[in-house]
Every structure is written in structure tokens, then in C-alpha cells.
Amino acid sequence: MSRVGKKPVTIPSGVTATVDGQTVKMKGSKGELQFVVPALVDVEFKDGAVSVQPKNQSKAARSLWGTSRAQVANIVEGVSKGFEKKLEITGVGYRAAMAGKALKLSLGYSHDIEYEIPAGITIVTPKPTEIVVSGIDRQRVGQVAAEIRDYRGPEPYKGKGVRYAGEFIFRKEGKKK
């Protein structure tokens, strides 16, 4: 039984929600998002909350129940508050800067990396060693942060590279003579 799916998603003030068949649409101060609920799950909007129920007790329907409820909750939070991921850059000479509509990364390679920012995502560099990725779609914000981190992930010996803020990197001891 899904414990997450049982709880209805309350809609805060300032957010308008509409449920049309299997499509849930939310509109808030940050923007507008929609999510198509899988066919194995019923969704309804009543009393200022969106509730999700499985159509039957099959394993697939019960699996999608909690997932669908979490997706609807993420849409509500995205259009009202938005999402943000912070990245830290560690290493001598490693830095990031905005170059027009692209993020310019110097990560120890022979060339600088130009990352084109996708639509709906905002990237800010408050310091040369800090990157803040923000937007209304949680999945896209996380994907962009993961793509930036992939250019030079943190290595375990010196800890150099791009990491999420607050991420713990297990350090290894180097070679011994």
C-alpha cells in the first residue's frame, strides 16, 4: 500500500488547478505545468485538493499510485515556489561564468566548456566557484545540474571537480612509498 498516494495534494492560494481526464494542469505565479497521469490511476480535484487512487489492485497500478501523487505535488510546488540546485566547484583554476545565454566552465581541460542553457531553466553564478540552477520543473532542474556535474565529477583523492552543495565525497588515501 502506498503511504504517499493516500494523502491528497492540497492546492495553495495563488495556484489554479484543473483536472481534465488524465491531465492535471497547474498555473501559479512562477508559470504553468501539466502532467498526464497514467491510465492505471484515477485522479480527481475536489475541495481544493487533488487526490489520486489506483483503478485496481494490480502491482503496476499500486506502483504508479504514489509516483503519480508525487509528480502532482512537484508540479504544485514548482508553479508556486520553484526548484533550485546548487553546485560547488573545487580545484585550482576551476571556475564558472555566464557568457551570454551559455555557461562557460573552466574545469582543467585544454578548452573551456560552453553549456547551452535550455528553455525554462535559469543559471546564476554568484561566485566563480558556485553555480545555482533554478526553474519550475523539478526533473529538468535536476537533469541540468547532473549534466553540469558530469563534465568533471568530484574525484576521491583531492576532491577536485563539480559537486552538489553539501554532497559528501568519500576521500581515499593516496599511494604510499
pLDDT tens, residue by residue, 46-93:
888 999 999 999 999 988 999 999 999 999 999 999 999 999 999 999
136 vs 50: CA distance, rounded Å: 19
**Which triple of cell numbers denotes residue 150?**
558530469
Domain boundary among 80, 99, 131: 80
Name the E strands within 6-78.
9-10, 16-20, 23-27, 32-36, 41-46, 49-54
68 vs 38: CA distance, rounded Å: 8
Residue 92 and residue 152 share a domain: yes
Residue 76 and residue 87 share a domain: no
* CA-wise closest residue to 162 among 153, 171, 170: 153
Count: domains in the chain: 2
Residue 89 and residue 55 share a domain: no
20 vs 36: CA distance, rounded Å: 10
Q: Is 127 inside a domain boundary? A: yes
32 vs 36: CA distance, rounded Å: 14
Residue 91 and residue 58 share a domain: no
Instruction: Give this prediction's pTM.
Output: 0.88
pLDDT band at 177 (very low <50, low <70, confident <90, very high): confident
Q: What integer best gives the mean pLDDT of the chain?
A: 92
Q: Is 174 inside a domain boundary? A: no
CA angle, residues 45, 139, 37, in degrees to nearest 5: 30
Q: What's the CATH code of the domain at 47?
A: 3.90.930.12
Residue 142 and residue 107 share a domain: yes
**What domain range includes position 36?**
3-80
% of the chain residues with pLDDT over 70: 99
